[in-house]
Amino acid sequence: MPGMAGMDHSKMDHSATAAPTADDMAGMDMSHPMTGALGPYAMSREASGTAWQPDASTHEGVHVMRGPWMVMLHGVLTGVYSSQDGPRGDDKAFAAGMLMAMAQRPVGEAGTLQLRVMVSPDPLMGKRGYPLLLASGETADGAAPLVDRQHPHDLFMELSASYSYRLSGKDSVFVYAGLPGEPAFGPPAFMHRLSIMDSPEAPISHHWLDSTHITFGVLTAGYIHDGWKVEASRFHGREPDQHRYDIETGDLDSTAVRLSWNPTANWSLQTSWADVKSPEQLDPGENQKKWSASAIYTVPVGDSGWWSTTAAWGRRSSGHEDLDAWMLESAVKPNAAWTIFARAERTENNELTSLGGHHGPTYTVGKASLGAIRDWRLSEHLTFGVGGLYVLNFLPRGLEPAYGGDPSGAMAFIRLKLN
Ligand SMILES: [Cu+2]
């Protein structure tokens, strides 16, 4: 970070009123504690979009004070080699990750403004994304659905602004707007969930639970009381198209509603509903109703470690068919060096044998993965990690011939992380 002195959040002295230093970094102002952008609670509660995680979550990243602004930077760049077995498998080397900048400042006596920019290197991996057996959703060419592959994310994953107004020491109201941004649906997006963010592998339940994290046009309003949050969004229902470098626009034709509850510092619960207009480019006549419920549990381990677990259920419903997904994931960081993570999923998917956007029969499939990463600290704000994971896929009898039984897969990866 040339010209920018970083500050470790955990080491920041909140009681000091420091004078600006030579590199123009001002100290923490006592009237301006490290609270959330949306309400008067610990900043560590805020995850992607307006979603919550437990207050006990570790909050990594570089924090800098610039006058009234607090700037936070988060970044991860992962180089991955993925090998997925069987006739529908493939091998590929690719880069994934994100860079996120947030700037927050008080406005008047009781207001807080936050601006966010999040970009992704995913478009560089090519329009067909990377091999991921049993994943489906979006398209590479505007004609064929992506199946057994994870789509690349758009270059701009979030460009958003929020404003909150404190009504009391426990109550606030807020508005959030993003182009793109994340509507009030589901748990935090997978790359922001402590329980799996160290894994470079996307979940196959993505299009049930958190694929709306990149939505081109979102407006959300909410009310927070203590550990409770209720919020509603209007958003553009169509998923991002195959052009991953652009900003798309369209009507705010869809609705989402979410109720979140953090009963203690260790728990974060939510349930949400969405009515999504024409999400799929290849099946524009189809609308979806979605439901989700999730629970995240996070506890500190030892001096600097943590353990975080997420359980989630999601349902997609269109026409007469309800398709469910279940997901359980957990990661433990016993010390600064190691992180071990695992995930199990089960989805009901009718896109695995679809033709030209027309859904095929529904199959219930499963996937389980287990991995670990070893990190080394390169400098105050940068770590380098080497990791790997192993995956097992579970197919129903009807799909075993197409996949060659129950294929396995593996990923090896290296990572640079700003923290
Ligand atoms: Cu995604």
Which helix H or strand E contains 132, and what residues bound it? strand 130-139
> What is the structure's pLDDT at 23?
38
Q: What is the pLDDT of residues 239-276, one digit of tens each?
A: 988 889 888 999 999 999 999 999 999 999 999 999 99
Scanning the structure block, which residue is given the tokens 């600006």?
Answer: 20
Question: What is the chain's mean pLDDT, rounded?
Answer: 89
> What is the structure's pLDDT at 357?
60
Q: Is 206 helix (H, G, I), strand (E, B) or coil?
A: helix
State the Cα angle at 18 between 13 and 20, rounded to 5°. Answer: 130
> What is the structure's pLDDT at 283?
85
- Give the residue ranges of the chain where pLDDT is below 50: 1-32
Q: How far is the CA of 196 from the centre of ligand 1 (A)?
A: 14
Report the half-sphere exposure of 290 (CA within 13 A, side-chain side). Answer: 34
User: Structure tokens of 164?
Assistant: 């909150």
Q: How far is the CA of 136 from the centre of ligand 1 (A)?
A: 11
Q: How far is the CA of 151 from the centre of ligand 1 (A)?
A: 8
Q: How far is the CA of 16 from the centre of ligand 1 (A)?
A: 41
pTM, 2 dp: 0.90
> What is the structure's pLDDT at 356?
60
Q: How far is the CA of 57 from the centre of ligand 1 (A)?
A: 22
Tell me: cis bond preceding 180? Omega within 30 of 0 counts: yes
Q: How far is the CA of 240 from the centre of ligand 1 (A)?
A: 10
